[in-house]
Copies of this chain bind each other. A is one copy, B any other.
Amino acid sequence: MNKILECVPNFSEGRDKEKLERIVDEVRKQEGIKLLDYSMDKDHNRSVVTFVGEPDQVIETAFNACKKAAELIDLRTHKGEHPRMGATDVIPLIPIKNISMQECVEYSKKLAKRIGEELNIPVILYEKSASRPEREDLAVIRKGEFEGMFEKLKQEEFKPDFGPDKPHESAGVTAVGARMPLIAFNVNLNTNNLDIAKKIAKAVRGKSGGFKYCKALGFELKERNIVQVSMNMVDYTKTPLYRVFQLIENEANRYGVNVIGSEIVGLVPMNALVDTADYFLKLEDFSYDRVLENRIYGD
């Protein structure tokens, strides 16, 4: 493989295994595409599928999966805890290897155009692909959900980038955009005081003055009788894991509390961990091409 693009579409079906399998089959059948992971969430009534490959094939595969989802999923009867606005709710494209963010943006527009024109589903570009700054944030775009989209798309601010000006009657609206890999990173504290987790979350997250590319919330883990700072690291190259981790350790100490562990949910890019080792070992002049596997799989 030369260029590697990752695609992580979210589908509004988390209960009917057979339907999801038919969507995932669109990924499996595509030559040159590697299905990395997929999982269903019953409460959210939503599924996440992860695959990688050469960009053109990734776009083709994402289009086919989106087409299949539009055939199988009807938002008019869909219920679940997670906010959603489309059968294929969102399609993020992520640069993995030998591909720039700008190229990912170009590919996202190609994909959005096909979905809009061939499937008659309105598409709003988001994140790095957004056509206006207020459309970078998916939560802002999705507010009002499927049911509210019929009114919302009439506003100039939310006019779709591609496809018709009103939602598809059963498949709704899809967001497509390029973004950095996201790392779901949680840090556990040896206390059951939720207030402390919330204060630390506030200290580390960009929104309230902390690290720009870190989103954080405090949670209780009731079965373990502890609390957790739960984070989405949205650009580990600029807000690295180790820096956030050490800040949490410091802030926890301020309350007489210790970090007892952390967890990574889902997949993590190798370099996020290599950067962490580099930092703690105080490596001088280290570069990624010193990692044996990068030589083996490099071009």
> How many Å lie between the Cα of A245 and that of B266 in the bound state?
29
Contact of A291 (CB < 8 Å), options: B241, B268, B292, B294 = B268
- In the complex, the answer to whether B284 meets A261 with C-beta atoms within 8 Å is yes
The answer to whether the Cβ of A52 comes within 8 Å of any Cβ in the partner chain is yes
A211 to chain B, nearest CB (A): 16
Which residues of chain B come closer than 8 Å to A297, judged between CB atoms? Answer: 293, 297
Contact of A296 (CB < 8 Å), options: B36, B277, B296 = B36
The answer to whether the Cβ of A295 comes within 8 Å of any Cβ in the partner chain is yes
Label chain A's interface by main secondary structure: mixed
Copy number of this protein in the oligomer? 2
A152 to chain B, nearest CB (A): 35
Which residues of chain B come closer than 8 Å to A285, judged between CB atoms? Answer: 263
Which residues of chain B come closer than 8 Å to A273, judged between CB atoms? Answer: 273-274, 277-278, 291
- In the complex, the answer to whether A241 meets B281 with C-beta atoms within 8 Å is yes
> How many Å lie between the Cα of A291 and that of B241 in the bound state?
15
Q: What's the interface size class on A, roughly?
A: 35 or more
Contact of A261 (CB < 8 Å), options: B242, B269, B282 = B282
A56 to chain B, nearest CB (A): 17
Which residues of chain B come closer than 8 Å to A290, judged between CB atoms? Answer: 264, 266-268
Nearest B residue to A284, CB-CB = B261
A21 to chain B, nearest CB (A): 20
Nearest B residue to A297, CB-CB = B297
> How many Å lie between the Cα of A4 and that of B292 in the bound state?
12
> How many Å lie between the Cα of A293 and that of B268 in the bound state?
9
> How many Å lie between the Cα of A117 and that of B261 in the bound state?
56
A119 to chain B, nearest CB (A): 29
Nearest B residue to A244, CB-CB = B281
Contact of A263 (CB < 8 Å), options: B241, B283, B291, B292 = B283
Contact of A96 (CB < 8 Å), options: B4, B267, B292 = B292
**Extra contacts besides A245-B281, A273-B273 (9): CB < 8 Å:** A36-B292, A36-B296, A188-B284, A242-B281, A261-B283, A263-B286, A264-B290, A270-B294, A276-B281
Q: List A residues at the B interface (Cβ < 8 Å).
A: 4, 6, 34, 36-37, 52, 96, 181, 188, 241-242, 245, 259-264, 266-270, 273-274, 276-278, 280-286, 290-297
**A-B pairs, 8 with minimum CB distance:** A276-B277, A273-B277, A261-B284, A280-B280, A36-B295, A270-B293, A267-B292, A261-B282
